[in-house]
């Protein structure tokens, strides 16, 4: 059996009130060690208040070739944005 430690993706909450963001990856034998290593690698300069780790093989991703069908339909739906609507000045801030 190949003895390379599995790859983990690391997510850090930078400040209270913000969501976790992907910051990078690392190798670790298990989740506990992945958290410890993430602490050493990605939070040495006050970058975080919380860490999530996910083994990379468990992440399902959209395929680059589906970019068109997935994301282009929203480009034409400009009425989904507030700026699409003119509100008369007299009405004031809305």
Partner 1 sequence: MYAQMIKTASNGIKPREEMSEEERAFQDKIDNDIKIEPRDWMPEDYRRTLIRQIGQHAHSEVVGQLPEGNWITRAPTLERKAILLAKVQDEAGHGLYLYSAAETLGVSRDELIELLHEGKMKYSSIFNYPTLNWADIGAVGWLVDGAAIVNQVALQRTSYGPYARAMVRICKEESFHARQGYDAIRAMAFGTPEQKRQAQDALNRLWFPALMMFGPSDAESTHSEQSMAWKIKVKSNDELRQQFVDQTIPQIEYLKLDLPDPNIKWNEERGHYDFSEPDWPEFFNVIKGNGPCNVDRMKDRVAAWDDGEWVRDGLLAHARKKAARKVAAE
Q: Could you list the residues that contact partner 1 (CB under 8 A)?
A: 3-5, 7, 24-27, 29-30, 33, 40-41, 44-45, 61, 63-64
Closest separation in Å from C-beta 47 to partner 1: 10
* CA separation for the pair 84, 76 (Å, rounded): 12
Closest separation in Å from C-beta 49 to partner 1: 19
Closest separation in Å from C-beta 35 to partner 1: 13
Query: Among residues 18 and 22, whose Cβ is nearest to partner 1?
Result: 22
How far is the CA of 93 from the CAs of 80, 87, 88, 89, in angstroms? 19, 9, 9, 8
CB 27 within 8 A of CB 9: no
């Amino acid at each position: 059996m190949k003895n390379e430690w599995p790859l983990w993706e690391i997510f850090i909450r930078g400040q209270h009130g913000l969501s976790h963001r992907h910051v990078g990856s690392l190798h670790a034998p298990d989740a506990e060690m992945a958290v410890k290593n993430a602490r050493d690698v990605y939070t040495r300069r006050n970058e975080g208040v919380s860490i999530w780790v996910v083994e990379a093989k468990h992440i399902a991703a959209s395929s680059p070739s589906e970019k068109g069908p997935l994301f282009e339909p929203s480009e034409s739906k400009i009425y989904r944005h507030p700026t699409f609507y003119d509100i008369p000045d007299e009405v004031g801030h809305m």
